[in-house]
């Protein structure tokens, strides 16, 4: 199988700001195995760069010629860039499906009609700006980026501007003390859940926060994102969180994302399938697992101006999977 790649620049429709930075463009890499395609998202927060991803890809040895021997192929990936490792996995799954002439969801035995609705993300800004963006979006489910000193004001302003269902994401932007202070107040706004309230490495903090909130009779689901990269991390968090956010860019591909989903279910956790700022390539790859999940945050293609591929189709918060073989993508 021939491994090759194509650097791409994604132009965002609006500045995308979270607790740890802002951007107007993202520099990703499309990765190919023969005619299978995947995507590596260069997320600065994860210390990924387009140059680093390409350097990693240049170091990958020959992956063999059998796309059906997936474990053997994937085991040949060197340690390094999680995004690049994910893109190779996605391209391999795309090639696998194309060789068999079937869409990926069908090879997993999943029903494409059983899909959760997706949220649309409102990036961090001044409360009035975020409220206007929320209203203008027209989406019925919004994920609100938090992690500032105006978090409650942001949620209050958005609640006044729209009747959309809200979930919030602090992107590891709160200390333990800040989380314990703000979460009981945010619970009064009827949020679906709170994503990644604590620092990435603070696993014990999630247990601490769970007990503190329980003592105050605060009942709002807590989901882990950056702290839960693999199925091993899910096990470590069992009993401390209510749900896990699954992203192929974290899990190094579809294979481990599927393991994360099954591990989370074994520990009675809910699952949100999510994405980085990615084109339809990476987001559609992940979306083939959506029938297994409770929530979706698959708005990457809605955030960019120059999507290189056709994949998922959106109708408000509803999305449909393509029915072509493999990932089902077509080049624009």
CATH of 3-101, one of 1.10.1070.11, 3.30.930.10, 3.40.640.10, 3.30.390.10: 3.30.390.10
Contact 221, 210 (CB under 8 A): no
- Could you tell me the CA-to-CA distances from 54 to 30, 68, 213, 268 in Å, in that order? 10, 25, 44, 39
CATH number of 107-331: 3.20.20.120
Domain locations in the chain as residue ranges = 3-101, 107-331
pLDDT in tens, 142-185: 999 999 999 999 999 999 999 999 999 999 999 999 999 999 99
Nearest CA to 144 among 163, 162, 130, 126?
130
Q: What is the pLDDT of residue 16?
A: 82
pLDDT at 19 over 80: no
Q: Is 275 exposed, middle or buried (0-12, 13-18, 19+ CB in 10 A)?
A: buried
User: Alpha-carbon distance 16 to 22, whole Å?
Assistant: 5
The tens digit of pLDDT for each residue in 75-104 reads 999 999 999 999 999 999 999 999 999 999
C-alpha count within 13 angstroms, C-beta hemisphere, residue 109: 1
Q: CA-CA distance, 271 to 265, in Å (whole number)? A: 8
Overall pTM surpassing 0.75 (yes/no): yes
Whole-number pLDDT of residue 45 = 84
Among 259, 235, 281, 285, smallest CA distance to 103 is for 285
Q: What is the mean pLDDT of the chain?
A: 97
Per-residue confidence at 15, pLDDT binned at 50, 70, 90?
confident
Which residues contact residue 90 at a Cβ distance below 8 angstroms, ignoring those fewer than 6 apart?
31, 36, 37, 38, 39, 248, 253, 254, 281, 282, 285, 327
- DSSP for 176-223? HHHHHHHHHHHGGGT-S-EE--S-TT-HHHHHHHHHHHHHTT----EE
Q: What is the pLDDT of residue 21?
A: 75
């Amino acid at each position: 199988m021939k491994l090759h790649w194509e650097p791409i620049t994604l132009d965002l429709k609006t500045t995308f700001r979270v607790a740890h930075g802002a951007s107007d463009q993202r520099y990703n890499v499309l990765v190919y195995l023969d005619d299978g395609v995947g995507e590596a998202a260069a997320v600065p927060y994860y210390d990924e760069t387009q140059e680093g991803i390409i350097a990693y890809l240049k170091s990958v040895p020959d992956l063999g010629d059998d796309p059906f021997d997936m474990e053997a192929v994937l085991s040949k990936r060197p340690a390094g860039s999680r995004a690049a490792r994910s893109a190779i996995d996605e391209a391999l799954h795309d090639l696998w499906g194309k060789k068999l002439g079937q869409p990926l969801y069908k090879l997993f035995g999943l029903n494409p009609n059983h899909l959760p609705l997706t949220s649309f993300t409102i990036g961090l800004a001044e409360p009035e700006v975020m409220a206007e963006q929320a209203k203008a979006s027209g989406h019925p489910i919004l994920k609100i980026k938090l992690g500032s000193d105006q978090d409650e004001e942001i949620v209050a302003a958005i609640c006044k501007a729209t009747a959309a269902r809200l979930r919030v994401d602090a992107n590891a932007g709160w200390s333990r003390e800040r989380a314990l202070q703000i979460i009981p107040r945010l619970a009064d706004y009827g949020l679906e859940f709170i994503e990644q309230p604590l620092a990435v490495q603070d696993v014990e903090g999630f247990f601490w926060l769970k007990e503190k909130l329980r003592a105050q009779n605060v009942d709002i689901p807590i989901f882990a994102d950056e702290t839960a990269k693999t199925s091993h991390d899910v096990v470590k968090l069992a009993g401390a969180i209510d749900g896990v956010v699954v992203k192929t860019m974290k899990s190094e591909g579809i294979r481990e994302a599927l393991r994360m989903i099954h591990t989370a279910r074994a520990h009675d956790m809910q699952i949100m399938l999510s994405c980085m700022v990615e084109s339809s390539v990476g987001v559609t790859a992940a979306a083939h697992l959506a029938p297994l999940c409770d929530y979706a945050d698959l708005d990457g293609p809605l955030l960019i101006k120059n999507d290189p591929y056709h994949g998922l189709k959106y109708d408000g918060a509803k999305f449909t999977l393509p029915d072509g073989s493999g990932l089902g993508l077509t080049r624009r």
